[in-house]
Structure 1
Amino acid sequence: MFTFVLALLMLLAAVAMFAVGKSKGRGRALGLVPLLAGGVLMAMACTTIIQAKNVGVLTTFGKPTRSLNAGLHVKAPWQKVTELDGTKITNKYTGEERIEVRIGDGTTAAVETAIRWSIVGEKADEIYADYRSDDVNMNVREALVETVFKNAINAVFGQYNPTAELVTVDPNSDKRLNFVPDYDGLAAEVTESMKQRVADSGGYVKIEFVTLSGISLSPETQKKINEFQAEVARTQVALQAERTNRAQAAANKALSTSVSNNPNVLVSRCLDTLQMMVENQQPVPAGFTCWPGQSSNLVLGGNGKN
């Protein structure tokens, strides 16, 4: 509006200079300057350019008239255009900005997450009317996305209980406990919750996707999980040791049975031992024999002369 008023003043000045210039030759020449300046200012007041991906809301004395797509548009000088960010925006919540939630076991946790969204251009007029402020884009971001997103995150994680797996484990079961959160599944739940909440609030924004990159549990919850995992590990070690002892006992029993039923097993082992003694040049006792019930005066490995 200021540009329009300034353009009118410049044009009036040009008209006055032209009127005076009828009697003075230089007056008409000087009148070209405000005429050109007034023309440029009037063109600026009657046109607007909307940036790519954005949506413009044309208002007449504060009332939304229509929305404008990207490009050059002509408007009345007294009309105002408010540009809404129509690009895909990603809100990231990491580090100190992680979202604090209360999970299913009653403790708190911090969630690292991100959400991508964009406004619905067809509803730009309604968005402007409902969320008009000095900075409409920031107001939309805070009211339509951030607040609703935190509510959706808390609703989903209120059902998430990482200590639900802390149950008695069947020693004979091959099932392995997994305490890694299902990030994809939780993200899908949050996405659906966001889409429903946004639709209920007017459908002014479109949710592209939600990602979850980490969950920091409270020290109490993490301690419970760590202690339980340690106990499971000790149980598995003890069970494995028991299985090993049973297997060794079964093997010894089988060997004992084979020896009692077939003495040749002992003879074979004795001959192997005897061969090792000879190869290592160890003295073999006189009369040594591997056959039970027999004796021999043969001495192996000796270097003496008769």
Structure 2
Amino acid sequence: MLFLCVLLLVAAVVLYLVGRAQDGGGWKLGAAISAVAAVLSGIFACVHVVSAYEVGVPVTFGSVGEPLSSGVNLSSPFTDVTTFSTRPVDLNLDGKDRVEVRSAEGGVLYADVTVKWAVVPKDAVRLYQLAGSEEGVQERLVTPDSREIIRNVFAQHTSEEGYASAREQIGTEIADLIKKRLSPRGIDVTAVNLRNVRPSEKLQDQIDAKLQQEQATQRAEEAARTAEAEAKRRRIEAKGIADSNKILERSLSDKVLYNQCLEAFKEAAKSHPVYASPCGAGSGGSPVIVDGTKN
């Protein structure tokens, strides 16, 4: 716009000189129009419009001024304004940009992370000095710092914690560290989402082998516990039988056997015409059953 203003001003002077030399009214009219256009161009060159949800950083002859808020701003026609969006921006570290990390054991994992960040308007000048533009902020500050922190956090955890048991904790640690790193630079990190973590093929093979070994060990331990329980049951059963036999042996005296013999004869006599002699020869002999139906 400033170049156009100068060009129109030069054209106005030339037209005026030509018109004066030739005493032509048309040339003078053209000079007047060019002069008015030059003035308008100069005015517009001093006006900088910053869109909503943006902040402008003015630079005049290499000197950086105070941030310009959204709306119409007046400044020198020699001022160049660089704008930064204040809306949240998503940095997606996935696909070919996913983060390759190593656990404390050296296992390789791949993490998909989204970092949501925004420029703090009052710190736009600092970001301009550090990165030069909004794209530079993400490429030079947010992306490299985020990747470094993600790798450092995973390096403090085991592989199993990284893809399973401690994912939520790891995500919280990453978010806290990224916010702490970028906040002093004028970058407001509103959210960090650890979306997915998966092991490399080599690590996955190691995980599968370990799971198979653990399952085999569990089956062997279960079989050993079952065998031990069965052996214990049999020992208890054998001891019970032995104790029962000892009790029975102590209780089977001659008098007891004699009484049992008599009881047996009494039961037999109820259904068969038999009679019993005293149990054995004498008072303690074997019983003799006599069948009265036979001669």
- Please report the TM-score for the alignment, with normalisation by the length of structure 2: 0.67
Aligned to 1:9: 7
Any unmatched runs of 5+ in structure 2?
A: 241-295
- Would the aligned equivalents of 2:87 and 2:118 in 1 still touch at CA under 8 Å? yes
Confirm whether residue 116 of structure 1 aligns to residue 116 of structure 2.
yes
In 2, Cα distance between equivalents of 1:66 and 1:16: 39
Aligned to 1:217: 199
Confirm whether residue 185 of structure 1 aligns to residue 169 of structure 2.
yes
- Would the aligned equivalents of 2:103 and 2:156 in 1 still touch at CA under 8 Å? yes
- Would the aligned equivalents of 2:55 and 2:68 in 1 still touch at CA under 8 Å? yes
Aligned to 1:154: 151
1:51-66 equivalence runs, <5 A: 51-66=51-66
- Would the aligned equivalents of 1:184 and 1:211 in 2 still touch at CA under 8 Å? no
1:236 Cα deviation from its structure 2 partner: 4.8
Aligned to 2:180: 196
Letter in 2 for 1:81: V
Identical positions, percent: 22
1:151 Cα deviation from its structure 2 partner: 1.2
Confirm whether residue 229 of structure 1 aligns to residue 227 of structure 2.
no
Q: What secondary structure, in the 3-state scheme, does the structure 2 residue paired with 1:87 have?
A: coil
1:11 Cα deviation from its structure 2 partner: 2.8
Question: Taking structure 1 as reference, are residues 231 and 17 closer, same or farther at Cα in structure 2, changes over 3 Å only?
Answer: same
Letter in 2 for 1:11: L
Confirm whether residue 48 of structure 1 aligns to residue 45 of structure 2.
no
Q: What secondary structure, in the 3-state scheme, does the structure 2 residue paired with 1:67 have?
A: coil
Aligned to 2:136: 139
Matched length: 232
- Would the aligned equivalents of 1:98 and 1:112 in 2 still touch at CA under 8 Å? yes
Question: Taking structure 1 as reference, are residues 216 and 33 closer, same or farther at Cα in structure 2, changes over 3 Å only?
Answer: same
1:264-275 equivalence runs, <5 A: none
Question: Taking structure 1 as reference, are residues 35 and 82 closer, same or farther at Cα in structure 2, changes over 3 Å only?
Answer: same
1:100 Cα deviation from its structure 2 partner: 1.2
In 1, Cα distance between equivalents of 2:163 and 2:119: 37
1:210-289 equivalence runs, <5 A: 210-236=192-218, 239=222
Q: What secondary structure, in the 3-state scheme, does the structure 2 residue paired with 1:124 have?
A: helix
- Would the aligned equivalents of 1:14 and 1:34 in 2 still touch at CA under 8 Å? yes
In 2, Cα distance between equivalents of 1:130 and 1:223: 44
In 2, Cα distance between equivalents of 1:95 and 1:127: 28
1:58 Cα deviation from its structure 2 partner: 1.0
- Would the aligned equivalents of 1:59 and 1:66 in 2 still touch at CA under 8 Å? no
Please give the root-mean-square deviation of Cα atoms over the aligned residues, in Å: 3.2
1:122 Cα deviation from its structure 2 partner: 0.5
Confirm whether residue 35 of structure 1 aligns to residue 35 of structure 2.
yes
- Would the aligned equivalents of 1:105 and 1:163 in 2 still touch at CA under 8 Å? no
In 1, Cα distance between equivalents of 2:94 and 2:128: 30
In 1, Cα distance between equivalents of 2:160 and 2:14: 85
1:142 Cα deviation from its structure 2 partner: 2.1
In 2, Cα distance between equivalents of 1:70 and 1:182: 44
In 2, Cα distance between equivalents of 1:227 and 1:213: 26
1:76-95 equivalence runs, <5 A: 76-95=76-95
Q: What secondary structure, in the 3-state scheme, does the structure 1 residue paired with 2:53 have?
A: coil
Letter in 1 for 2:205: K
- Would the aligned equivalents of 2:107 and 2:159 in 1 still touch at CA under 8 Å? no
* CA deviation map 1:264-305 (0-9, x unaligned): xxxxxxxxxxxxxxxxxxxxxxxxxxxxxxxxxxxxxxxxxx
